[in-house]
Structures are given as C-alpha cells and as structure tokens.
Amino acid sequence: MLKVGLVGIGFMGRGHLDQYLRLMDEGAGVQLTALCDVDEKKFHGQFIGGNMGNLGQSKYDFTRYHLYTDFDEMIANEELDYVDIALPTYLHSYYAIKALKAGKHVLCEKPMAINPTQCRMMIDAAKASGKKLMIAQCLRFWPAYETLKHYVDSGEFGKPVFCYFFRGGGWPKWSYQDWLLDETRSGGCLLDQHVHDVDTINWLFGTPKAVSTLGRNVNPGGGFDTVTTNYRYDGFIVNSADDWSMNSSDIPFEMTFRANFEKGTVVFKGGETWVYPVEGKAFKADDCGGDDGYYREICYFIDAVTNDKPIEISDNESTYRTICIATAERNSALNDGAWTEVTC
Ligand SMILES: NC(=O)c1ccc[n+]([C@@H]2O[C@H](COP(=O)([O-])OP(=O)(O)OC[C@H]3O[C@@H](n4cnc5c(N)ncnc54)[C@H](O)[C@@H]3O)[C@@H](O)[C@H]2O)c1
C-alpha cells in the first residue's frame, strides 16, 4: 500500500483529492495519508472554482488525513512513499527536489517548471535519488488524445496533413496570491494553459525544428493571454491557439482538436471524438468509455511505483522538451512571430 502526501489543495489539488477518494473506494493500492497547504482555510472546505467548472466535491472529511501547513514538517513526520505536488508552477522544482532528496517518489503537476533550467535540476535530482519523477501532463492519459495518438502512430490514415489544437476560457482569477496572473510565477497562458497543447504536439510529432508565435497581452501581470503558434515539421502543418481572455461568464472552457490525415480526419469537440475516414462511415471513438485522464495518469504513476516500472508515457526528457518548445514560443512572440529554433 503506497502512502501519499498531497501538497497544494487549491483548484488542481482538489481535483487530485477526488481521484484519490475514488482510488481508495476502488481498493487501489494507495492511501492518501497527509495533506499539506500553506493556507489553512483549504482544510475548512473554503474552495474556489477554476476554469474547468467545479473539479472537486463541495464537502470533504478532512479528519481522515494528517494536515500540515508546512512541507518540511509533513516530510519529517510521515512515512510517505510519494508526494503529489499540485503547487503553483514557480514552486514545482523547489518542492519536487526537496521531496526527491528526502527519498520520496514525486508526481508533479504540469508544467514541469517555470523554465528549462529548473526542469533540468528536477531531472538531475530524480536521477541522483534513484526515485521516480513524473510530470502530470494529463493529455497523454486523456482518452480523446490517446485516440489521436493511435492514428498518428499507427499510420492507419496515412500521414498527417494539417492538425489544429485550441484551448480557451476566462482569466484564471482564483489562484493563491494571484500567481496565475503573474508571468514570473506562471508563465502566463503560454506556459500554464497552452502548454497542454504544446506537450501534446511534442508527444505526437516530436520536437519541431522551429516555432513562430504571435501573442497578445491585456493582463497587467504580464505574459501573453492569447497565443497562436505554427510549428515547423517536414511535410505537414501544425497550428495551435490558446486564449484565456474569453471572459463572458456564459462561455464554457473549451478544448478541441482537428487532425486531418491523408485518409481520414479525427475531430475532438464538445467532449466527443469523431473519426471521419475518407472511405467509410464516420463513427464516434470509444475513448476508453470516456474515463478521466486525471484518474488514468495517477493510476499509471501508482503502477510504475508499485511495480518499479519506468515512466514512459510522460517521460521526463520529453516533458522537459515541452518547456523548451514553450520557451522558444515565448521568444518568438517577443520577436513579433520570428521563426525561432527550439533549443534544449
Ligand atoms: N492538469 C490540469 O489540467 C491543470 C489544471 C489547473 C492547474 N494545473 C496545475 O496545477 C498547479 C496548481 O494550480 P491551481 O490552479 O490548483 O493553483 P491554486 O492557486 O488554486 O492552488 C495552489 C495551492 O497551493 C497552496 N500553496 C501555495 N504555496 C504553498 C506552499 N509553499 N506549501 C503548501 N501549499 C502551498 C495554495 O494555498 C493553494 O491552495 C499548477 O502547476 C497548474 O499549472 C493543472
């Protein structure tokens, strides 16, 4: 039975909490024993919503867990197998490295860290500790995106022709000390929200040779709140756009893709994946019965730790390259869309 400490009980930490409740109900080999959040109010159920609706349940029984407001105290007092980090991005590397040095495996929310240098420090710390580090790039475990990965890898529809990814919602106004609205702590929409699609593109097609990004900013915290990027690959076109300034309270969060291949098109929209073969009838993809990517990524990590398997799907070198691509995108946007090589 793996003992887990969950750090950061904000919007995403609450989402993870729900997954552990499900896993423990299902009798998975995991026990959430400790919760840590610097803001004690989180242990009194004072939650706020995020951009994807209410991820968490409204009521939790916090008496089930050992509660900490200090990470070091939690590490010193608990016999944890792994630490699940759902902290603001600028804190990922500091706490992941601390946990690894304390001999704990680490599951850490995306993006890996605020810049490639900090990512590299995390990878080095994982290697030195001999413990596992996995970045929760959830789309690699998201059924719709796995369906697309199948069509890319299998070549069933031939080669890709044009792929487009979009993600959008309102400004994230819920975060702890407004860290999300401050580019130095979150990387703006580019590193926080758009990074999901950057990571997907990297996972599907590998690192592009170069990127050209246009960005726009109306948020006083700096960074871009709207970006659109073209990625340079040989023989096909990939474009991705992100907008976190869709501020009407009536407009829902949206994530979508349209991937056109020589012999068919795959479209994810409104939570459904449709496959349109050039020859044959359109059909709705099964998408693992619609199961949850957040749940599936945690299951994968538990299995890797329990059975000492390598982390292959969300491999650290690959999720590190995602941050290198995002960094090149930022540099391109600051240079009015100039084609910018991706260097790692
Ligand atoms: N995978 C996804 O779809 C997804 C969605 C949203 C957020 N995220 C990621 O999850 C992470 C957290 O984002 P969020 O929206 O939950 O932010 P948030 O501000 O809602 O939550 C952060 C929590 O960390 C706590 N915290 C801050 N400093 C701390 C410290 N030193 N020790 C302990 N607790 C501390 C805060 O009190 C807060 O409860 C980010 O990296 C973000 O990119 C991922």
Which pLDDT score, from 0 to 100, does residue 222 have?
A: 75
Which pLDDT score, from 0 to 100, does residue 6 have?
A: 98
Domain ranges of the chain: 2-137+295-312, 140-293+322-341
Q: Which residues of 295-321 are buried (b: 16+ CB within 10 A; e: fewer)?
A: bbbbbbbbebbeeeeebebbbbebbbb
Is pTM, for the whole model, over 0.85? yes
108 Cα: distance to centroid of ligand 1 (angstroms): 11
Cα–Cα distance, 249 to 302 (Å, whole number): 37
State the DSSP H helix or E strand holding residue 257, giving kind and residue range, or none if neither: strand 254-261
Tell the residue nearest (CA) to atom 41 of ligand 1.
89
14 Cα: distance to centroid of ligand 1 (angstroms): 9
Q: Which atom of ligand 1 is nearest to the CA of 71?
A: 32
62 Cα: distance to centroid of ligand 1 (angstroms): 18
Question: Which residue from 165, 198, 138 is spatially nearest to 12, judged by alpha carbons?
Answer: 138
Q: Which overall architecture, per CATH, does domain 140-293+322-341 show?
A: 2-Layer Sandwich (3.30)
pLDDT tens for each residue of the chain, 344 residues long: 999 999 999 999 999 999 999 999 999 999 999 999 999 999 987 665 665 555 554 578 899 999 999 999 999 999 999 999 999 999 999 999 999 999 999 999 999 999 999 999 999 999 999 999 999 999 999 999 999 999 999 999 999 999 999 999 998 988 999 999 999 999 999 999 999 999 999 999 999 999 999 999 877 777 899 999 999 999 999 999 999 999 998 999 999 999 999 999 999 999 999 999 999 999 999 877 778 999 999 999 999 999 999 999 999 999 999 999 999 999 999 999 999 999 98
Cα–Cα distance, 15 to 12 (Å, whole number): 5
Tell the residue nearest (CA) to atom 1 of ligand 1.
138
**What tokens were used for 242?**
């992100």
Which pLDDT score, from 0 to 100, does residue 290 have?
A: 72
Cα–Cα distance, 13 to 20 (Å, whole number): 11
Query: Residue 73 contacts by C-beta under 8 Å, 6 or more apart in sequence?
Result: none
Strand ranges, E, within 121-203: 133-136, 160-168
Q: What angle do CA 235, 327, 104 make, to 5 degrees?
A: 110
Superfamily of domain 2-137+295-312: NAD(P)-binding Rossmann-like Domain (3.40.50.720)
DSSP state, residue 72 = H
> Within 6 Å (CB) of ligand 1, which residues are found?
7-13, 36-39, 42, 50, 71, 86-89, 91, 109-110, 136, 138, 174-176, 192
Which pLDDT score, from 0 to 100, does residue 184 have?
A: 95
Which pLDDT score, from 0 to 100, does residue 52 have?
A: 55
Q: Fold identical between 2-137+295-312 and 140-293+322-341?
A: no
49 Cα: distance to centroid of ligand 1 (angstroms): 12
Tell the residue nearest (CA) to atom 5 of ligand 1.
12
Torsion of CA 200, 317, 89, 335, to 10 degrees: -70
**What tokens were used for 196?**
């999901």
Q: Which atom of ligand 1 is nearest to the CA of 176?
A: 19
Tell me the C-alpha to C-alpha distance, in Å, between residue 50 and each of 12, 53, 155: 8, 6, 37
Tell me the C-alpha to C-alpha distance, in Å, between residue 62 and each of 28, 75, 105: 20, 19, 24
* Mutational pocket test of ligand 1: of 167, 176, 181, 186, the residue with most ligand atoms within 8 Å of the beta carbon: 176
* Start-to-end C-alpha separation, the chain: 38
* Mutational pocket test of ligand 1: of 6, 9, 11, 185, the residue with most ligand atoms within 8 Å of the beta carbon: 11
Q: Which atom of ligand 1 is nearest to the CA of 95?
A: 31
